[in-house]
Amino acid sequence: MGHIKEPKGVNLIIESEPLTDKARKEISAFISRYKLSTKKRKVKIVKSIKKSKLSHSIT
């Protein structure tokens, strides 16, 4: 990936407004829920892989 040069007279820096407390809490809650849901999914995947390896090694 290369470096993008700014054309003369054009400023590509974007300044966003600071988050409100409500928005910060909503984002934090979403991230927490997402992390919990992915942890559960990873555990199920690992268990199913172990089961499939066991059933293949027994036969």
Checking if the pLDDT of 7 tops 60, the result is: yes
pLDDT for position 8: 86
pLDDT for position 1: 64
CA distances from 16 to 13, 19, 39, 48 (A): 10, 9, 32, 44
pLDDT for position 26: 97
Give dist(CA 14, CA 17) in Å, integer. 10
Give dist(CA 45, CA 52) in Å, integer. 11
Checking if the pLDDT of 22 tops 90, the result is: yes
Give dist(CA 19, CA 25) in Å, integer. 10
